[in-house]
Structure formats: structure tokens, C-alpha cells
Amino acid sequence: MRGTDEKSRSLFSYVDLEDRIPVKHPLRKIRRVVNDALASLDAEFEALYVDFGRPSIAPERLIRASLIQILFSVRSERQLMEQMQYNLLFRWFVGLGIDDAVWVPTVFTKNRDRLLTTEMSRKVMAAILAHREVVPLLSDDHFSVDGTLVKAWASMKSFLPKAGGTPPDGDPGSPPGPEATTEDHPARTEPETDPMPRDRRQTRNAEVDFRGEKRSNATHVSMTDPDARLYKKSPGTGATLCFMGHALMENRSGLIVQGDLTQADGHAERRAALDMIHRHSPGSTRQLTLGADKGFDAAEFVADLRQACVTPHVAQKARYSAIDGRTTRHEGYALSIKNRKRIEEAFGWAKTVGGMAQTVYRGLERVRSRFILTMAANNLARLPRLLAA
């Protein structure tokens, strides 16, 4: 029998939003872990707010909304607010009822900037890893470290000499406006009749040729994002304005236990590796292992690890390696060299799904806090399968 194409005339819905989400949906496990982690941070949230004034967006809802934005590759807060108008899954995960109003994008962004600092992102990641169901998945002794480039939200045209500053019109690389005059082109006399008005807005970006021009971080700076640095990680590739993201992974389940982001330079990876291992296991007397690629094979770095009671399972260079037979003869060294490559999976997820191939934020602090939260979201994305195993 053919059904009828009639519109429903009911004014009210008596189906709970909880019942509209499939029982086996992976977000159910993720939401349970996130809610327990945020509940453990209640005292931290309480210390950030005063007892008077206009209520802000609840910090728990703001963090859940930021996590769902990363997990589902929503490119902006404005699009996130738009999708939350009609996406029941998003409303359920964030904690909004079906009739609750969605926030204005600018209000959401302001509240996000105040709450999600680097310190808060690290606390959220630590609270997720401290969950009772997640702790058994972690290794306390064996880790891997690596770094990756995060392209800055700045054009190469904004990379100008420090002494020169910005052009008079404030648009780097743009051609002079119609009102600009030079000695070669004297000002024209006004005609007797008024000319037809013209639209003086520029319709496209000006083309700039950098061939033959020497540019470096010592003499140039980006006018769009002064914290970005011109850097290339491997020979034969072009240098770009970027930051350098770092991650410390435990080797049992491949979960990221520490994240950081710094300005890009040749020593940033080794400095960040030492900071993260000390931050994760401060004053540890256990013999830890740290796997890394050949970029970490430096005598000073290896000596610092040994002094910190960490065995350096670093891939050896072809020549002048700081790793000798004391380390390579053990079976654990080969296992660490094999497992360390799993950290690239987290970087790949962060760039393809988490939107960190090129950040949409400016400033080192904002990009760092977003990178750490993206690493926490990567852990959450892997939890449903790990907990079901």
C-alpha cells in the first residue's frame, strides 16, 4: 500500500533526545569519558569565574563543542553554530536540549579564547588520560617523541623586512592605489565634467616575485602572524611560514600523553622532547625509554636523556652517531624503533581530520592550545575501539 505524502501537524515531540542517538554509536563512549574528565576539573573551572555578572557559556559545554568541532572536521565556529541548529547529534554531545538556543558565533569565540588556554588544554588532556577506563591502556615506561610542521595562517607576501614595516596602505604586496602619484606620472588636471565614479576596490591579490630576494627570520617578519617562522624540515622542500608541533606518545596503545607547539627551528624538537618527558614523569627514578628518529641523534640530547634516567632509543645516523652498542644490543631497542613510527598516525589524523595542516588561528598561544586539544581529540577518537578490544 502506498503511503501518503502529508506533513505532520503535531506541535510537540515527546521523544527524548537521548533516544534518538543509536545505542552503539561510538560517541556514547567518548561522551562518557569526556563528562567524567570534565567533572574532575570542576574545581579548576570554579576558580576561573566570579560569583557576579552575566553568566557565560558553561565551560563543560564549550569544551565539548570544541571537541566535536575537531572530531567532525568543522572548519569554523560559525559553521559549528550553524550545524548545531539542526544536528541533533551535535546538540546531544554538547549538552543542549532540542529547544535550547545556539550561541552567537562571536560570543562563542570570545568565551573560547578566555577558557581554552594552553594550561587548560593540558588539564583536559590529563583528565582524559586519568580516566579509570583509560589508565590501563597506558604504558608508564616506554615512550616515543616526534615533531611536525603546522602551517601558519599567514601568506608569504606578509613576510616583509623588519625595518621596512608595512606598506602605507597596510596591505602587504598590494599595488599602489589609484590616488598614488610619482614623479614619472604627474597628477592629471581635473576635467570640466565629472567622470563616472569607479569602484576602487581591488578585485584580486597582487602578484609578487620573490626571485633573487634573500629572506630570513633574522631580517624579515610576518606582518600577519609575527610568531610564525620561515622554516623547512627536510632538504629539497620549500620553506613556509609555520610552527612546529610536538607530541609524546606511550608505546602500549599509541595514545598521546603530552603535546606542545613552539616556533620552528632546528633545535625545537629536542628541547620540546626534554620538556615533555620531564613534564610527564617529573623526577622519575624508573628507567624509561624514549624512541625517536635520526633528527634526535645528537650527543647533547642523548647525554641529557641519560642524566634524566631515560634510555635513548634513537635511530642511528649513518655517521657520527651518539648511540652505541650499549643501547642497540638490547631487544627493546628494536621494538622502540618499530613502535615510534606510530606517532605519525596521530599527526596524520590531526592534519586530515583535526584541521591542523594549516591552522586558522594566529599567535603562538592560540595555536598551541588548539594543537594540544587536537591531540586530546585524537585520543578520544581511538578510545571506542581500544575499550572494546
Alpha-carbon gap, residue 371 to 245, rounded angstroms: 7
- Which CATH number is associated with domain 139-154+238-372? 3.30.420
Domain boundaries, the chain: 17-115, 139-154+238-372
Alpha-carbon gap, residue 349 to 332, rounded angstroms: 27
pTM value is 0.86
Alpha-carbon gap, residue 375 to 150, rounded angstroms: 13
Is residue 88 within 8 A of residue 98, CB to CB? The reply is: yes
Q: What is the pLDDT along the chain (389 residues), one digit of tens a residue?
A: 776 777 766 667 777 888 899 999 999 999 999 999 999 999 999 999 988 888 899 999 999 999 999 999 999 999 999 999 999 999 999 999 888 999 999 999 999 999 999 999 999 999 999 999 999 999 999 999 999 999 999 999 999 998 755 443 444 444 444 444 444 445 555 555 556 566 566 667 778 777 778 889 999 999 999 999 999 888 888 899 999 999 999 999 999 999 999 999 999 999 999 999 999 988 777 889 999 999 999 999 999 999 999 999 999 998 999 998 888 999 999 999 999 999 999 999 999 999 999 999 999 999 999 999 999 999 999 999 999 87
Q: What is the sign, positive or negative, of the torsion defined by CA atoms of 210, 213, 214, 217?
A: negative
